[in-house]
Structure 1
Amino acid sequence: MLVVAVGCGEKNPVKEISAAQSGVEVRDTLVDSADLPTLHWNQWRGGSIDGVVEDREVATNWGESQNVRWKLDVPGRGHGSPIVVGDVVYLATAINDKQQQLVLAYDRKTGDQRWRREVHAGQFPSQRSIHNKSTNANGTIACDGQRLYIGFLNNDKVMVSALGLDGEIVWQKEAGLFVSKFGYAVSPILYKSLVIVAADNMGGGYITAMDGQTGEIAWRVARGNISSYSSPTVANVGGRDQLLISGCDAVTSYDPATGKQLWRTECISEATCGTIVSTDNLLFASGGYPDKETVCLSAAGEILWSNRTKIYEPSMVLLGDELIGVSDDGVANCWSVTDGKQVWRKRLGGNFSASPIVCNDTVYVSDLSGNTHVFKSVDGEFQSIATNQVGTDCYASPAVADTEIYLRVGVGSGDDRTENLVCIKTASPAI
């Protein structure tokens, strides 16, 4: 047992569990894949956790009524992105005055609500331990085609729940304790038969892998006592699967099947928010607080290039042999992935929390005024395609399924603010 000290704060023992101790078998898939719904956009940043969409016909122009297939009111507040599985859109949200954390399901074609499931009631963290930009439902749901997985901060713990596609709770397990500085921001990710959640916090951080069918802990590793906010990713880099996460003054790689640390490279800063993106042999990360750095590392963790640019809340995205990062204060940066040379830099204006996606070599990214900026990188130059507004703010990243884009936006401000889920359509819907 590793006891982590937090100075004048709480101390939480992180009980590390090895794969050998747990005996949980890691299977090639989470569930039998026969007769399962299509996993269009089934977790944070899509199935490959990188925001890149296969080429397809999606809209580049829309407005409050233009190219909107449907728009619906979402109860409560959350920053988690929608996911799309089969003909259903799923979303996590929190209703603060009732202290409810919910999972919602909507018909993809009509926007009608199919079901609503209360996952937790009461035991929210204190308001002073949640950042004023944050919510009690920041994470994006993950789905393997049979179950939905979501992690909420509740009762000073990260609680992970599995729900059936009908909304019934299958299991609910504690991933570990959590001492909140600004709230819990991480989304669960899927790897083979495991559901993996990270929880860097000042009381004792950790990454935990759970069996998707039972919730049994397959392994848990401690990560120190620093509050950081990045969701991990799993990517095949350098010919092997690597579980990658930034934060705690480093980029760290683990074996996703066992939790064994493969390497750790000191860089960036103590706190980061973005999820790492990668090629077959390179990986890229940025942040953070209090330091700032964008870095490219080899598959073995060697720093190949870096600069002093900070891409903090939004994750970055790869566009061919270029790396795109949009900073919180509205500057889009484009670098060559090979040497880090800046290809172009363009002020978009506004402020950003949402992460960009790429489809048809086109970047889509929403700002905190509800504008979605659509642009390309052409022959070394920034090329604006459109700026489209729906709602008055947007914290959540978009999801894509077939020819539809799904946006979670805010409407109004202050106590009058509500949320909408919006389906942006093309002329010929693909359902």
Structure 2
Amino acid sequence: MVALVGCKKKNPVTEIAAGQSGISVVETDLTDLADGWHQWRGFSGDGVAPDGEIPVTWDPASDFKWTAKIPGRGHGSPIVVGDLVVVATAVKSDDQFRMLAFDRESGQAKFDTVIHRGGFPNPNDIHPKATYANSTVAGDGKYFYLATFNNERVYVTAVDTVGEIVWQNEIGRFVSKFGYAPSPVLYKSLLIVAADNGGGGYLVGIDRISGEIAWRIARGNVDTYSSPVIANIGGRDELIITGGDQMVGYSPESGEVLWQTPCISEATCGTAVVSGNKIFASGGYPDKETVCISEGKKVWSNRTKVYEPSLVTDGVHVFAVSDDGIAYCWRAEDGQEMWKKRLGGNFSSSPLLCNGNIYVADLSGNCYVFAAKGDGYEQIAKNRLRDDCYASPAVASGRLYFRVGLGSGDSRQEELICIGEAQTNADE
């Protein structure tokens, strides 16, 4: 158990050891998912897309292949699995959590499934900037998986490719300070979900076919918001997550703690990224730090804070765009700052790296494209999306997918856009 400290009403976590559950972890071939964007931050969970032809510049009037309206609100990013683009949303006016799927080629609606009716958190328990649907869906080609905060608990739901609910399971109670944010990740036959909270945080490994809990371990009593990432480091699979003033590496097969290193801050939002044996992450609140860790020890760190957006690395350099609009480049080996550039505006979206370029959208609906290089900031393009963009992009088969907002206040409408060739409108 990782000891975190908090002061909220406590809900003791009932731990389940991997051997106790009777559920076996089975090797699963996920390589077919590599040509899509099947979970938060893509196939490797690091925001790096396979090199290929994708748009660098575009005009909303002519280069949106299709657009589709999304009811309600959500900050979860789109994913692309097979022929479908899938997002989650919360429609407060109807008291519904929903999962929506659109045809990858045309943008036509394929299913719209109600995951929960009612049970929304108290608005005082949600950050004013957040939504009730912050998590990104994960898909394995057979099912789509979503974690939601509902009726003071975290539920995980599996939906098949035609929108039918296959199973739904409560994985634990949740005491909210600012809402629920982590996105689930796939590992072999498991789905792994984080739920750090002031009442009693936990990590859970769930059998993807049955929905039964394979293991659950406690993480203490701190409100923190990062999603886990899985990487193979030195020949060993590790589940890595920040928060609670530390970075921790777990066995994704059992939940066993492999190492833990004090760093960053109590609350973090970004997801760690990995290159070779080095792990990079940033945050947070109330402290601030960007850090590189290897073999459980700090290699370098600085006092830069990149709170909501995650980092991205090409293995040679580490790139970031901070919440307040400053782009950074550090040398991965030793953390030397190579350059920084004020872009302006504010950012929540995490960057995407493809073809040696970094794509990142701001909260005013602009997408910056700049070169992933260490000898100075080079802007390739500044493109218009819509009026805002909180979610991070997905990329598949040469196309970019963004979840954006049009308008403001009560008149704000969310939209899914596919940037590629000729414009169509999926709602016509």
Aligned equivalents of 2:275, 2:79: Cα separation in 1: 24
- Equivalent position of 2:167 in the other structure: 171
Q: Once structures 1 and 2 are overlaid, which stretch shifts more, 332-341 or 82-91?
A: 82-91
Counterpart contact for 1:403–1:426, Cα < 8 Å: no
The 5 A counterparts of 1:246-325 are 246-298=242-294, 300-325=295-320
Aligned residue in 2 for 1:25: 24
Tell whether 2:400 aligns with 1:405.
Answer: yes
Equivalent position to 2:76, from 76, 80, 91: 80
Whole-angstrom CA distance in 2 between matches of 1:329 and 1:78 = 21
Q: Compared with structure 1, are the counterparts of its residues 379 and 206 closer, same or farther at alpha carbon in structure 2 (3 Å cutoff)?
A: closer
Q: Aligned partners of 1:5 and 1:284: how far apart in 2?
A: 24
Work out whether residues 153 and 184 of structure 1, in 8 Å CA contact, stay in contact via their aligned partners in 2.
Answer: yes
SS at match of 2:378: strand
Question: For the structure 1 residues 292 and 406, does the alpha-carbon distance in structure 2 shift closer, same or farther, using more than 3 Å as the test?
Answer: same
Contact 2:367 2:384 in 1 (8 A): yes
Q: Please state how far the C-alpha of 1:380 moved relative to its aligned partner.
A: 1.0
Does residue 420 of structure 2 align to residue 421 of structure 1? no
Which range moves more in the overlay, 314-323 or 118-127? 314-323
Instruction: Give a deviation string over 1:26-55, Cα, whole Å, max 9, x none.
Output: 001178x8xx78751100000110010111
Structure 1 letter corresponding to 2:118? G
Equivalent residue for 1:49? 45
Q: 1:356 and 2:355 equivalent? A: no
Q: Distance in 2 between matches of 1:10 and 1:378?
A: 48
**Greater mean alpha carbon deviation, residues 373-382 or residues 93-102:** 373-382
CA distance in structure 2 between the partners assigned to 1:396 and 1:312 by the alignment: 14
Q: Does the 8 A contact of 2:33 with 2:140 survive in 1?
A: no
Shift in Å at residue 4 of structure 1?
A: 9.3
Indicate if the aligned counterparts of 1:92 and 1:103 stay in contact, CA closer than 8 A: yes
Aligned alpha-carbon RMSD (Å): 1.9
TM-superposed CA distance for 1:2, in Å, is 11
* Count of equivalent residues: 424
Partner of 1:118: 114
Cα 1:239–1:73 change in 2 (3 A) is same
Give 1:64 shift.
2.0
1:21 match: secondary structure: helix
Distance verdict in 2 for CA 1:79–1:330, change over 3 Å: same
Residue 329 of structure 2 corresponds to residue 337 of structure 1: no
Secondary structure in structure 2 of the residue aligned to 1:375? strand
**Equivalent of residue 382 in structure 2, options 387, 397, 400:** 387
Partner of 1:15: 14
| Secondary structure of 1:334 counterpart | strand
**Unmatched tracts of structure 2, length 5 or more:** 424-428
Q: Deviation of residue 280 (structure 1)?
A: 1.6
Relative to structure 1, the CA distance from residue 288 to residue 37 in structure 2 (aligned partners, 3 Å threshold; closer, same or farther) is closer
Are residues 427 and 382 of structure 1, via their aligned partners in 2, closer, same or farther at CA, if it must alter by over 3 Å?
farther
Q: Mapping of 1:124-135 within 5 angstroms? A: 124-135=120-131
- For normalisation by structure 2, the TM-score amounts to 0.96
Measure, in 1, the Cα distance between the counterparts of 2:359 and 2:227: 20
Q: Is the 8 A contact 2:54 2:399 kept in 1?
A: yes
Query: Where in structure 2 are the equivalents of 1:224-235 lying within 5 Å?
Result: 224-235=220-231
Q: Is the 8 A contact 1:158 1:175 kept in 2?
A: yes
* 2:318 counterpart letter in structure 1: L
Deviations 1:340-388, CA, capped at 9 Å, x for gaps: 0001101111000000010001000000000000000345111100011
Secondary structure of 1:20's aligned partner: helix
Q: Relative to structure 1, is the Cα distance of residues 2 and 383 closer, same or farther in structure 2, using a 3 angstrom cutoff?
A: closer
Q: Counterpart in 2 of 1:40? A: 36
> What corresponds to 1:374 in structure 2?
369
CA contact (8 A) 2:281 2:292 kept: yes
Maintained 8 Å contact 1:5/1:203: no
Post-superposition offset of 1:110: 1.2
> How many angstroms apart in 2 are the aligned matches of 1:259 and 1:37?
25
The one-letter code of the counterpart of 1:164 is D
* Equivalent residues of 1:84, 1:399 under 8 A apart: yes
What's the CA shift for 1:320? 3.8
Moved beyond 4 Å, runs of 4+: 1-6, 36-39
Return the offset for 1:142. 0.4
Match of 2:124, SS state, is helix
Q: Distance in 1 between matches of 2:225 and 2:13?
A: 18
In the aligned structure 1, how far is the partner of 2:140 from the partner of 2:186? 8
Q: Write the letter of the residue equivalent to 2:390.
A: Y
Give the alignment partner of residue 160 of structure 1, picking from 156, 159, 172: 156
The 1:379–1:79 alpha-carbon spacing in structure 2 relative to 1, beyond 3 Å, is closer
Cα distance in 2 between the residues matched to 1:12 and 1:320: 41
Higher relative contact order (CA 8 A, sep 6+): 2
| Distance in 2 (alpha carbons) for counterparts of 1:421 and 1:137 | 15
CA distance in 2, matches of 1:303, 1:239: 20
d(CA) in 2 for partners of 1:365 and 1:129? 29
